[in-house]
Structure 1
Amino acid sequence: MTKPLMTKPVLTAVLTGKAVPFGRPNTQSAIGKQPTDAAVAIGPAGLEGDEQADRRNHGGPDKAVHHYPFDHYAAWRADLPAPAPLLDAVGAFGENLSTQGLTEETVCVGDVFRIGTAVLQVSQGRQPCWKLNHRFGVADMARRVQATGRTGWYYRVLEPGIAAAGDEVALIERPLPDWPLARILRAFYHDTGDLPTLAGIAALEPLAPGWRTLAQRRVESGRVEDWTSRLGE
Protein backbone atom coordinates (compact mmCIF):
# COMPACT_ATOMS: atom_id res chain seq x y z
CA MET A 1 0.00 0.00 0.00
CA THR A 2 1.19 3.51 -0.76
CA LYS A 3 2.65 5.59 2.02
CA PRO A 4 0.43 8.62 2.73
CA LEU A 5 1.54 12.11 1.79
CA MET A 6 2.90 13.43 5.08
CA THR A 7 3.35 17.03 3.99
CA LYS A 8 1.78 19.29 1.40
CA PRO A 9 3.99 19.04 -1.69
CA VAL A 10 5.68 22.23 -2.84
CA LEU A 11 6.68 22.98 -6.44
CA THR A 12 10.19 24.31 -5.92
CA ALA A 13 11.16 24.84 -9.57
CA VAL A 14 10.05 24.52 -13.19
CA LEU A 15 12.93 23.80 -15.55
CA THR A 16 13.55 23.77 -19.31
CA GLY A 17 16.56 23.15 -21.52
CA LYS A 18 17.86 23.11 -25.08
CA ALA A 19 19.50 20.18 -26.85
CA VAL A 20 23.30 20.49 -27.15
CA PRO A 21 26.16 18.10 -28.01
CA PHE A 22 26.66 15.75 -25.09
CA GLY A 23 28.64 12.75 -23.91
CA ARG A 24 29.30 10.76 -27.07
CA PRO A 25 30.12 11.68 -30.68
CA ASN A 26 27.09 12.77 -32.71
CA THR A 27 24.90 12.74 -29.60
CA GLN A 28 22.83 15.58 -28.21
CA SER A 29 20.94 15.99 -24.96
CA ALA A 30 18.79 18.57 -23.19
CA ILE A 31 19.56 17.11 -19.76
CA GLY A 32 21.10 20.43 -18.67
CA LYS A 33 17.85 22.14 -17.70
CA GLN A 34 17.64 25.46 -15.84
CA PRO A 35 14.93 26.91 -13.59
CA THR A 36 12.64 29.48 -15.16
CA ASP A 37 11.64 32.70 -13.41
CA ALA A 38 8.23 32.97 -15.07
CA ALA A 39 5.26 30.65 -15.41
CA VAL A 40 5.65 28.06 -18.19
CA ALA A 41 2.92 26.64 -20.41
CA ILE A 42 2.52 22.86 -20.22
CA GLY A 43 0.91 21.08 -23.17
CA PRO A 44 0.60 17.52 -24.50
CA ALA A 45 4.19 17.62 -25.82
CA GLY A 46 5.66 19.03 -22.61
CA LEU A 47 6.86 22.42 -21.43
CA GLU A 48 7.03 25.38 -23.76
CA GLY A 49 10.64 26.12 -24.60
CA ASP A 50 11.88 22.68 -23.52
CA GLU A 51 13.55 20.22 -25.87
CA GLN A 52 14.23 16.47 -25.98
CA ALA A 53 17.09 15.49 -28.26
CA ASP A 54 16.35 11.75 -28.24
CA ARG A 55 12.67 11.49 -29.10
CA ARG A 56 12.82 7.69 -29.08
CA ASN A 57 13.60 7.52 -25.37
CA HIS A 58 12.45 10.93 -24.12
CA GLY A 59 9.34 12.96 -24.76
CA GLY A 60 6.13 11.89 -26.42
CA PRO A 61 2.64 11.81 -24.88
CA ASP A 62 3.55 9.40 -22.07
CA LYS A 63 6.82 11.13 -21.20
CA ALA A 64 5.85 14.74 -21.73
CA VAL A 65 7.04 16.02 -18.33
CA HIS A 66 9.81 14.67 -16.09
CA HIS A 67 9.49 15.09 -12.31
CA TYR A 68 12.36 14.49 -9.88
CA PRO A 69 12.06 14.88 -6.10
CA PHE A 70 14.43 17.38 -4.53
CA ASP A 71 13.93 15.19 -1.44
CA HIS A 72 16.53 12.77 -2.87
CA TYR A 73 19.36 15.26 -3.21
CA ALA A 74 20.60 14.89 0.37
CA ALA A 75 20.83 11.10 0.00
CA TRP A 76 22.80 11.49 -3.23
CA ARG A 77 25.23 13.89 -1.58
CA ALA A 78 25.83 11.26 1.10
CA ASP A 79 26.05 8.30 -1.30
CA LEU A 80 28.31 9.50 -4.08
CA PRO A 81 32.03 8.74 -3.90
CA ALA A 82 33.06 12.39 -4.40
CA PRO A 83 31.37 15.77 -4.04
CA ALA A 84 28.91 16.50 -6.86
CA PRO A 85 28.51 20.25 -7.46
CA LEU A 86 25.44 19.51 -9.59
CA LEU A 87 23.56 18.65 -6.40
CA ASP A 88 23.95 22.16 -5.04
CA ALA A 89 20.95 23.28 -7.13
CA VAL A 90 17.87 21.78 -8.76
CA GLY A 91 18.14 20.32 -12.26
CA ALA A 92 20.88 17.76 -11.67
CA PHE A 93 18.78 14.94 -13.13
CA GLY A 94 17.34 16.81 -16.10
CA GLU A 95 13.97 17.25 -14.44
CA ASN A 96 11.22 19.61 -15.60
CA LEU A 97 9.53 19.75 -12.20
CA SER A 98 11.22 19.77 -8.80
CA THR A 99 9.28 19.30 -5.60
CA GLN A 100 9.61 18.52 -1.93
CA GLY A 101 7.07 16.20 -0.35
CA LEU A 102 6.66 13.55 -3.08
CA THR A 103 8.72 10.41 -3.74
CA GLU A 104 8.35 7.12 -5.56
CA GLU A 105 7.07 5.60 -2.30
CA THR A 106 4.17 8.06 -2.06
CA VAL A 107 3.26 8.46 -5.75
CA CYS A 108 1.26 5.80 -7.63
CA VAL A 109 1.04 5.11 -11.31
CA GLY A 110 -2.16 6.72 -12.56
CA ASP A 111 -2.12 9.48 -9.94
CA VAL A 112 -3.60 12.70 -11.28
CA PHE A 113 -2.11 15.96 -10.02
CA ARG A 114 -3.09 19.55 -10.60
CA ILE A 115 0.18 21.47 -10.79
CA GLY A 116 -0.47 25.15 -11.27
CA THR A 117 -3.40 25.04 -13.70
CA ALA A 118 -2.21 21.96 -15.61
CA VAL A 119 -3.59 18.48 -14.90
CA LEU A 120 -0.99 15.72 -15.21
CA GLN A 121 -1.15 11.94 -14.79
CA VAL A 122 1.75 9.76 -13.63
CA SER A 123 2.49 7.43 -16.54
CA GLN A 124 5.72 5.61 -15.63
CA GLY A 125 8.99 5.83 -13.74
CA ARG A 126 12.17 6.99 -15.35
CA GLN A 127 14.51 4.42 -16.85
CA PRO A 128 17.95 5.90 -16.17
CA CYS A 129 20.45 5.84 -19.00
CA TRP A 130 24.16 6.35 -19.62
CA LYS A 131 23.76 10.12 -19.94
CA LEU A 132 23.61 10.36 -16.16
CA ASN A 133 27.09 8.80 -16.01
CA HIS A 134 28.46 11.67 -18.10
CA ARG A 135 26.35 14.28 -16.36
CA PHE A 136 27.74 13.42 -12.93
CA GLY A 137 31.17 12.14 -13.93
CA VAL A 138 30.36 8.89 -12.08
CA ALA A 139 30.84 5.79 -14.23
CA ASP A 140 27.92 3.86 -12.73
CA MET A 141 25.54 6.71 -11.91
CA ALA A 142 22.71 5.32 -14.06
CA ARG A 143 22.95 1.96 -12.31
CA ARG A 144 22.97 3.69 -8.92
CA VAL A 145 19.79 5.57 -9.80
CA GLN A 146 18.13 2.36 -10.93
CA ALA A 147 19.27 0.35 -7.89
CA THR A 148 18.12 2.93 -5.34
CA GLY A 149 14.70 3.48 -6.93
CA ARG A 150 15.36 7.22 -6.77
CA THR A 151 14.46 7.54 -10.44
CA GLY A 152 11.79 10.21 -10.68
CA TRP A 153 8.81 9.75 -12.99
CA TYR A 154 6.99 10.98 -16.06
CA TYR A 155 3.57 12.50 -16.70
CA ARG A 156 1.14 12.61 -19.56
CA VAL A 157 -0.79 15.88 -19.83
CA LEU A 158 -4.55 15.53 -19.35
CA GLU A 159 -5.30 19.27 -19.35
CA PRO A 160 -2.85 21.93 -20.56
CA GLY A 161 -2.09 24.81 -18.23
CA ILE A 162 0.71 26.87 -16.75
CA ALA A 163 2.94 26.30 -13.74
CA ALA A 164 5.53 28.28 -11.83
CA ALA A 165 7.70 27.76 -8.76
CA GLY A 166 5.60 28.08 -5.64
CA ASP A 167 2.41 26.73 -7.23
CA GLU A 168 0.24 24.19 -5.48
CA VAL A 169 0.75 20.49 -6.22
CA ALA A 170 -2.59 18.82 -5.51
CA LEU A 171 -3.42 15.12 -5.80
CA ILE A 172 -6.93 15.06 -7.29
CA GLU A 173 -7.33 11.38 -8.24
CA ARG A 174 -5.71 8.09 -7.21
CA PRO A 175 -7.17 5.15 -9.17
CA LEU A 176 -4.46 2.62 -8.18
CA PRO A 177 -3.53 3.09 -4.50
CA ASP A 178 -1.91 -0.36 -4.35
CA TRP A 179 0.60 0.48 -7.08
CA PRO A 180 3.18 3.00 -5.87
CA LEU A 181 5.99 3.55 -8.33
CA ALA A 182 8.40 2.00 -5.82
CA ARG A 183 6.56 -1.33 -6.07
CA ILE A 184 6.82 -1.32 -9.86
CA LEU A 185 10.49 -0.35 -9.77
CA ARG A 186 11.26 -3.17 -7.32
CA ALA A 187 9.63 -5.70 -9.65
CA PHE A 188 11.52 -4.44 -12.68
CA TYR A 189 14.97 -4.06 -11.12
CA HIS A 190 15.19 -6.18 -7.96
CA ASP A 191 12.51 -8.88 -7.66
CA THR A 192 12.85 -9.61 -11.36
CA GLY A 193 11.32 -13.08 -11.11
CA ASP A 194 8.14 -12.00 -9.31
CA LEU A 195 5.82 -13.11 -12.09
CA PRO A 196 2.52 -12.42 -10.28
CA THR A 197 3.53 -8.79 -9.67
CA LEU A 198 4.76 -8.45 -13.23
CA ALA A 199 1.46 -9.82 -14.52
CA GLY A 200 -0.33 -7.25 -12.40
CA ILE A 201 1.85 -4.49 -13.82
CA ALA A 202 1.07 -5.60 -17.37
CA ALA A 203 -2.64 -5.05 -16.64
CA LEU A 204 -2.36 -1.49 -15.29
CA GLU A 205 -4.21 0.64 -17.83
CA PRO A 206 -2.78 4.03 -16.76
CA LEU A 207 0.78 2.68 -17.08
CA ALA A 208 2.59 3.68 -20.28
CA PRO A 209 2.24 0.97 -22.98
CA GLY A 210 6.00 0.47 -23.16
CA TRP A 211 6.21 -0.51 -19.51
CA ARG A 212 3.15 -2.76 -19.73
CA THR A 213 4.74 -4.52 -22.70
CA LEU A 214 8.01 -4.89 -20.81
CA ALA A 215 6.23 -6.56 -17.90
CA GLN A 216 4.25 -8.87 -20.20
CA ARG A 217 7.37 -9.87 -22.08
CA ARG A 218 9.04 -10.83 -18.81
CA VAL A 219 6.04 -12.93 -17.79
CA GLU A 220 5.98 -14.76 -21.13
CA SER A 221 9.73 -15.30 -21.51
CA GLY A 222 10.87 -15.63 -17.93
CA ARG A 223 13.94 -13.62 -18.91
CA VAL A 224 15.21 -10.20 -17.87
CA GLU A 225 16.25 -7.86 -20.67
CA ASP A 226 19.89 -6.78 -21.01
CA TRP A 227 20.43 -3.36 -19.39
CA THR A 228 24.07 -2.98 -20.48
CA SER A 229 23.57 -0.60 -23.40
CA ARG A 230 21.07 1.63 -21.59
CA LEU A 231 23.18 1.93 -18.46
CA GLY A 232 26.35 2.53 -20.45
CA GLU A 233 28.41 -0.38 -19.15
Structure 2
Amino acid sequence: MPVVLSLNIASRTTPADYTRTGVTGIDKRPVDGALEVSPPGPKGSSGSGVAGDAIGDWSAHGGDHQAVYGYAREDLDWWQTELGVDLHNGQFGENLTTQGIDQTNALVGERWRIGTAVLEVTAPRIPCRTFAEFLAQRGWVKRFTQVNRPGAYFRVLEAGRIAPGDEITVLHRPDHDVTVELFFRALTTEADLLPRLLEAGDSVPPEVIELVHKRNAVQLDS
Protein backbone atom coordinates (compact mmCIF):
# COMPACT_ATOMS: atom_id res chain seq x y z
CA MET A 1 0.00 0.00 0.00
CA PRO A 2 1.43 3.43 -0.95
CA VAL A 3 2.13 5.60 2.09
CA VAL A 4 3.50 8.94 3.20
CA LEU A 5 6.87 8.16 4.77
CA SER A 6 7.29 11.67 6.10
CA LEU A 7 5.60 15.05 6.09
CA ASN A 8 8.23 17.79 5.77
CA ILE A 9 8.18 21.54 6.29
CA ALA A 10 10.55 24.47 6.67
CA SER A 11 9.48 25.99 9.96
CA ARG A 12 11.22 29.23 8.94
CA THR A 13 13.11 30.59 5.96
CA THR A 14 16.89 30.57 6.06
CA PRO A 15 19.27 33.19 4.64
CA ALA A 16 20.55 32.39 1.16
CA ASP A 17 22.60 34.84 -0.89
CA TYR A 18 22.00 32.80 -4.05
CA THR A 19 18.24 33.50 -4.14
CA ARG A 20 16.37 36.50 -5.50
CA THR A 21 14.76 37.24 -2.13
CA GLY A 22 17.81 36.47 0.01
CA VAL A 23 16.01 33.64 1.85
CA THR A 24 14.83 30.12 1.05
CA GLY A 25 12.40 27.57 2.43
CA ILE A 26 13.95 24.58 0.66
CA ASP A 27 15.45 23.12 3.85
CA LYS A 28 12.43 21.04 4.86
CA ARG A 29 12.53 18.62 7.78
CA PRO A 30 10.18 15.81 8.86
CA VAL A 31 7.54 16.51 11.49
CA ASP A 32 6.07 14.00 13.91
CA GLY A 33 2.35 14.74 13.79
CA ALA A 34 -0.41 15.66 11.39
CA LEU A 35 -0.64 19.04 9.66
CA GLU A 36 -3.50 20.79 7.91
CA VAL A 37 -3.30 21.19 4.13
CA SER A 38 -5.54 23.70 2.36
CA PRO A 39 -5.69 25.76 -0.85
CA PRO A 40 -3.37 28.73 -0.22
CA GLY A 41 -4.67 31.02 -2.98
CA PRO A 42 -3.26 32.32 -6.27
CA LYS A 43 0.46 32.08 -6.91
CA GLY A 44 2.33 35.22 -5.95
CA SER A 45 -0.19 36.18 -3.28
CA SER A 46 0.20 33.19 -0.99
CA GLY A 47 2.65 30.58 0.18
CA SER A 48 2.52 26.85 0.90
CA GLY A 49 -0.62 24.80 1.26
CA VAL A 50 0.90 22.98 4.25
CA ALA A 51 0.37 24.64 7.61
CA GLY A 52 3.58 26.01 9.09
CA ASP A 53 5.65 25.59 5.92
CA ALA A 54 7.77 28.62 5.01
CA ILE A 55 8.48 29.66 1.41
CA GLY A 56 11.19 32.13 0.47
CA ASP A 57 9.93 33.35 -2.91
CA TRP A 58 6.17 33.43 -3.41
CA SER A 59 6.57 34.48 -7.05
CA ALA A 60 8.22 31.15 -7.90
CA HIS A 61 6.77 28.75 -5.33
CA GLY A 62 3.49 28.08 -3.58
CA GLY A 63 0.01 29.07 -4.65
CA ASP A 64 -2.90 26.78 -5.43
CA HIS A 65 -1.25 24.71 -8.19
CA GLN A 66 1.98 24.29 -6.18
CA ALA A 67 0.39 23.94 -2.76
CA VAL A 68 2.19 20.69 -1.92
CA TYR A 69 5.33 19.13 -3.41
CA GLY A 70 5.93 15.39 -3.33
CA TYR A 71 8.96 13.23 -4.04
CA ALA A 72 9.28 9.45 -3.95
CA ARG A 73 11.67 7.81 -1.49
CA GLU A 74 12.52 5.37 -4.28
CA ASP A 75 13.81 8.29 -6.38
CA LEU A 76 15.71 9.75 -3.42
CA ASP A 77 17.35 6.34 -2.95
CA TRP A 78 18.32 6.28 -6.64
CA TRP A 79 19.89 9.74 -6.34
CA GLN A 80 21.58 8.73 -3.10
CA THR A 81 23.40 5.95 -4.96
CA GLU A 82 24.22 8.19 -7.93
CA LEU A 83 25.58 11.02 -5.80
CA GLY A 84 27.21 8.91 -3.12
CA VAL A 85 25.66 10.97 -0.31
CA ASP A 86 22.95 10.37 2.26
CA LEU A 87 19.67 12.09 1.43
CA HIS A 88 17.16 12.53 4.23
CA ASN A 89 13.42 12.80 3.68
CA GLY A 90 12.65 16.39 2.70
CA GLN A 91 16.11 17.12 1.30
CA PHE A 92 14.76 17.87 -2.18
CA GLY A 93 12.42 20.41 -0.61
CA GLU A 94 9.44 18.06 -0.77
CA ASN A 95 6.52 18.26 1.64
CA LEU A 96 5.56 14.62 1.10
CA THR A 97 8.12 11.87 0.90
CA THR A 98 6.18 8.89 -0.43
CA GLN A 99 6.78 5.17 -0.80
CA GLY A 100 5.10 2.70 -3.11
CA ILE A 101 3.63 5.10 -5.68
CA ASP A 102 5.17 6.26 -8.98
CA GLN A 103 5.07 10.05 -9.10
CA THR A 104 6.95 10.31 -12.40
CA ASN A 105 4.26 8.44 -14.30
CA ALA A 106 1.32 9.89 -12.41
CA LEU A 107 -1.17 11.65 -14.67
CA VAL A 108 -1.76 15.39 -14.39
CA GLY A 109 -5.22 15.60 -12.87
CA GLU A 110 -4.83 12.36 -10.94
CA ARG A 111 -6.45 12.62 -7.52
CA TRP A 112 -5.06 11.12 -4.33
CA ARG A 113 -6.70 10.81 -0.94
CA ILE A 114 -4.15 11.16 1.84
CA GLY A 115 -5.40 11.30 5.39
CA THR A 116 -8.56 13.41 5.26
CA ALA A 117 -7.36 15.54 2.34
CA VAL A 118 -7.73 15.10 -1.43
CA LEU A 119 -4.83 16.29 -3.60
CA GLU A 120 -4.62 16.61 -7.38
CA VAL A 121 -1.42 16.22 -9.43
CA THR A 122 -0.75 19.47 -11.32
CA ALA A 123 2.84 19.73 -12.55
CA PRO A 124 6.46 18.60 -12.21
CA ARG A 125 9.12 20.44 -10.25
CA ILE A 126 11.54 22.38 -12.46
CA PRO A 127 15.09 22.60 -11.05
CA CYS A 128 16.58 26.00 -10.27
CA ARG A 129 19.74 27.58 -8.92
CA THR A 130 18.43 27.46 -5.36
CA PHE A 131 18.02 23.68 -5.61
CA ALA A 132 21.55 23.31 -7.00
CA GLU A 133 23.17 25.59 -4.42
CA PHE A 134 21.33 23.93 -1.53
CA LEU A 135 22.57 20.48 -2.57
CA ALA A 136 26.04 21.85 -3.41
CA GLN A 137 26.08 19.85 -6.65
CA ARG A 138 27.92 21.31 -9.64
CA GLY A 139 25.89 20.99 -12.85
CA TRP A 140 22.84 19.90 -10.85
CA VAL A 141 20.17 21.62 -12.95
CA LYS A 142 21.36 19.88 -16.13
CA ARG A 143 21.80 16.54 -14.39
CA PHE A 144 18.39 16.63 -12.71
CA THR A 145 16.78 17.59 -16.02
CA GLN A 146 18.39 14.73 -17.92
CA VAL A 147 17.19 12.09 -15.48
CA ASN A 148 13.44 12.91 -15.61
CA ARG A 149 12.59 12.16 -11.97
CA PRO A 150 11.09 15.55 -11.04
CA GLY A 151 8.53 14.72 -8.38
CA ALA A 152 5.02 16.18 -8.50
CA TYR A 153 3.24 19.32 -7.38
CA PHE A 154 -0.32 19.09 -6.10
CA ARG A 155 -3.25 21.37 -5.50
CA VAL A 156 -5.60 20.78 -2.59
CA LEU A 157 -9.11 19.85 -3.71
CA GLU A 158 -10.36 19.00 -0.23
CA ALA A 159 -8.65 20.48 2.79
CA GLY A 160 -7.76 18.07 5.56
CA ARG A 161 -5.01 16.67 7.74
CA ILE A 162 -2.06 14.58 6.57
CA ALA A 163 0.33 12.70 8.83
CA PRO A 164 3.37 10.46 8.39
CA GLY A 165 2.20 6.90 7.78
CA ASP A 166 -1.04 7.90 6.03
CA GLU A 167 -2.04 5.62 3.18
CA ILE A 168 -2.31 7.05 -0.34
CA THR A 169 -5.38 6.05 -2.35
CA VAL A 170 -5.73 7.00 -6.02
CA LEU A 171 -9.34 8.14 -6.39
CA HIS A 172 -9.30 9.17 -10.06
CA ARG A 173 -7.13 8.85 -13.15
CA PRO A 174 -8.11 11.16 -16.04
CA ASP A 175 -8.65 10.02 -19.61
CA HIS A 176 -5.47 11.37 -21.20
CA ASP A 177 -1.79 10.43 -21.22
CA VAL A 178 -0.17 13.63 -19.92
CA THR A 179 2.15 12.31 -17.23
CA VAL A 180 4.36 14.29 -14.88
CA GLU A 181 7.34 13.03 -16.89
CA LEU A 182 5.88 14.23 -20.22
CA PHE A 183 5.03 17.60 -18.66
CA PHE A 184 8.60 17.90 -17.39
CA ARG A 185 10.10 17.18 -20.82
CA ALA A 186 7.73 19.70 -22.42
CA LEU A 187 8.97 22.47 -20.13
CA THR A 188 12.65 21.57 -20.24
CA THR A 189 13.94 19.72 -23.31
CA GLU A 190 11.08 19.04 -25.74
CA ALA A 191 9.05 22.20 -26.33
CA ASP A 192 7.16 20.51 -29.17
CA LEU A 193 5.26 18.63 -26.47
CA LEU A 194 3.83 21.82 -24.96
CA PRO A 195 0.49 21.77 -26.85
CA ARG A 196 -0.27 18.35 -25.39
CA LEU A 197 -0.38 19.82 -21.89
CA LEU A 198 -3.73 21.45 -22.72
CA GLU A 199 -5.26 17.96 -22.74
CA ALA A 200 -5.04 18.04 -18.94
CA GLY A 201 -7.39 21.05 -18.72
CA ASP A 202 -7.45 23.26 -15.65
CA SER A 203 -5.28 20.86 -13.68
CA VAL A 204 -2.38 22.59 -15.46
CA PRO A 205 -1.11 25.77 -13.73
CA PRO A 206 -2.46 28.97 -15.38
CA GLU A 207 1.01 30.30 -16.16
CA VAL A 208 1.80 27.13 -18.13
CA ILE A 209 -1.46 27.35 -20.09
CA GLU A 210 -0.56 30.96 -20.90
CA LEU A 211 2.90 29.83 -22.07
CA VAL A 212 1.38 27.23 -24.41
CA HIS A 213 -1.04 29.76 -25.94
CA LYS A 214 1.77 32.29 -26.46
CA ARG A 215 3.92 29.68 -28.19
CA ASN A 216 1.01 28.67 -30.42
CA ALA A 217 0.40 32.33 -31.34
CA VAL A 218 4.07 32.82 -32.24
CA GLN A 219 4.00 29.75 -34.46
CA LEU A 220 0.88 30.96 -36.25
CA ASP A 221 2.49 34.38 -36.87
CA SER A 222 5.74 32.94 -38.19
Q: TM-score, with normalisation over the residues of structure 1?
A: 0.82
What pairs up with 1:17-32 in 2 under 5 angstroms? 17=10, 18-24=12-18, 27-32=22-27
The percentage of aligned residue pairs carrying the same residue is 32
1:14 aligned residue: 7
1:40 aligned residue: 35
What residue identity is the alignment partner of 1:218?
Answer: R
Match of 1:50 among 50, 53, 70: 53
Check the 8 A contact 1:11/1:167 in 2, yes or no.
yes
1:210 aligns with 2:207: yes
Stretches of structure 1 that go unaligned for 5 or more consecutive residues are 1-7, 223-233
Stretches of structure 2 that go unaligned for 5 or more consecutive residues are 41-48
2:183 aligned residue: 184
What residue identity is the alignment partner of 1:113?
Answer: W
1:156 aligns with 2:151: no
Alpha-carbon RMSD across the aligned residues, in angstroms, is 1.8
Displacement of 1:135 in angstroms is: 1.1
CA distance in 1, matches of 2:64, 2:119: 11
CA distance in 1, matches of 2:198, 2:218: 14
Check the 8 A contact 2:122/2:155 in 1, yes or no.
yes
CA distance in 2, matches of 1:15, 1:209: 26
What pairs up with 1:1-233 in 2 under 5 angstroms? 8-17=1-10, 18-24=12-18, 27-45=22-40, 46-80=49-83, 83-85=84-86, 87=87, 89-192=88-191, 194=192, 197-205=193-201, 206-221=203-218
* Higher mean displacement: 109-118 or 174-183: 174-183
What residue identity is the alignment partner of 2:85?
Answer: A
**SS state of the match for residue 66, structure 1?**
strand
Cα distance change of structure 1 residues 146 and 214 upon mapping to structure 2, 3 Å threshold:
farther
Aligned pair count?
208
Deviations 1:144-172 (A, max 9, x none): 22221111111111111001111111110
Displacement of 1:214 in angstroms is: 2.4
Q: TM-score, with normalisation over the residues of structure 2?
A: 0.86
Displacement of 1:76 in angstroms is: 1.0
CA distance in 2, matches of 1:103, 1:215: 26
Check the 8 A contact 2:176/2:200 in 1, yes or no.
no
Deviations 1:99-123 (A, max 9, x none): 0122344311001111111111111
